[in-house]
Amino acid sequence: MALLEVRELSKAFGGVMAVQEVSFEVEPGIVYSVIGPNGAGKTTLFNLITGIYTPSSGEIRLDGQPIAGQAPHRLAQKGMARTFQNLQICMNMTARENVMVGAHLGLDRNLLKGMLRWPALRRADMALREKAAELMAYVGLEAFVDSRADAMPYGALKRLEVARALAAQPRILFLDEPAAGLNPKETSEIDVLVKKIADGGVTVVLVEHDMKMVMNISDRILVLDYGKKLTEGTAREVRRNPDVIAAYLGKAA
Ligand SMILES: Nc1ncnc2c1ncn2[C@@H]1O[C@H](COP(=O)(O)OP(=O)(O)O)[C@@H](O)[C@H]1O
Ligand SMILES: [Mg+2]
């Protein structure tokens, strides 16, 4: 069974159909990429699946169970995590604290407040601090564990978002343009990191403009254009599709 199933999903903003009757399935353990020109609906698709927006119509299933319209924290409990195209890091906190926030995303905030008064949970907090440092090492940020986020370079903040998302121990991770704004060396490092995450058993759904990276790491690729599914297939199939060349690769070239 597919881990994620999207059926005839649509989202309208006023008169604009940002996503229009899009269907696809993501098998567990793969890297699944969503590409398309700016404004194609990629971020909106992520926002629908991760519970930020409620669909206008259509279905979303995780492990066969309908999830459309559920709140992001409930979806986090079910194993979904994401990063944002525009960084959502708390700049006045340390890197480690940002990662620790990620571990709490699936918890109810009031419950959490009460729990932090219990000694056993303070110990759990210590364990969490160590776990956060481990995750930072995993994404290559060991040098920044106790740095304030606002003192970190942009490329490091992009990785910090990935560490924060991983702190929720997701089964499926959505990365919205993890290499945007990065230089070629940093981009190839993100490429390696995404592969490592997928090899570790986390299913990755990726939006990315860097075609070299997308073609290199994706098991399957969905192409959106004006909110609609243009095609879907392996990197080889997508690259050769004349509609894709016309709509997307052609524009980039
Ligand atoms: N919150 C919103 N309100 C109104 N229009 C939106 C909103 N979010 C996205 N859109 C519109 O939906 C379309 C798809 O946007 P988006 O999903 O951000 O595309 P992409 O991520 O592929 O660049 C665009 O026309 C955009 O202007
Ligand atoms: Mg976007």
Residue with tokens 């106790």: 146
pLDDT of residue 218: 97
Average pLDDT, the chain: 91
104 DSSP 8-state letter:
T
pLDDT of residue 121: 66
Q: Does pLDDT of 102 surpass 90?
A: no
Distance CA 105, CA 151 (A): 24
Q: Does pLDDT of 253 surpass 50?
A: no
In this structure, the residue with its CA closest to atom 27 of ligand 1 is: 39
pLDDT tens profile 206-235: 999 898 899 999 999 999 999 999 999 999
Q: How far is the CA of 252 from the centre of ligand 2 (A)?
A: 16
CATH code that applies to domain 1-79+170-253: 3.40.50.300
In this structure, the residue with its CA closest to atom 5 of ligand 1 is: 13
Whether 95 and 144 have beta carbons less than 8 Å apart is answered as yes
Average pLDDT of the segment spanning 18-33: 98
pLDDT of residue 104: 75
What DSSP line would sit under 147-158, residue for residue?
SBGGGS-HHHHH
Distance CA 19, CA 33 (A): 16
Average pLDDT of the segment spanning 194-207: 97
pLDDT of residue 189: 94
In this structure, the residue with its CA closest to atom 12 of ligand 1 is: 18
Q: Is 18 in the pocket of ligand 1 (CB under 6 A)?
A: yes
Whether 220 and 29 have beta carbons less than 8 Å apart is answered as no
Looking only at the bridges linking them, the beta strands covering 228-233 and 220-225 are: antiparallel
pLDDT-above-90 percentage for the chain: 78
In this structure, the residue with its CA closest to atom 8 of ligand 1 is: 44
Q: What are the beta bridge partners of residue 82? A: 174
In this structure, the residue with its CA closest to atom 1 of ligand 1 is: 13
Q: Where along the chain do its domains lie? A: 1-79+170-253, 91-168
The half-sphere exposure of 40 on its side-chain side, counting CA atoms within 13 A, is 21
Ligand 1 pocket test, candidate residues 16, 22, 42, most atoms within 8 A of CB: 16
pLDDT of residue 246: 84
Ligand 1 pocket test, candidate residues 19, 35, 44, 48, most atoms within 8 A of CB: 44
Strand locations in the chain, DSSP E?
A: 4-13, 16-26, 31-35, 57-62, 65-66, 80-82, 172-176, 203-207, 220-225, 228-233
Q: Which helix (H) or strand (E) holds 237?
A: helix 235-240
pLDDT of residue 108: 53
Q: Amino acid identity, residue 2?
A: A
pLDDT of residue 247: 78
Q: How far is the CA of 196 from the centre of ligand 2 (A)?
A: 24
Nearest to 9 by CA among 70, 65, 54, 40: 54
What DSSP line would sit under 114-131, residue for residue?
HHTTSHHHHHHHHHHHHH
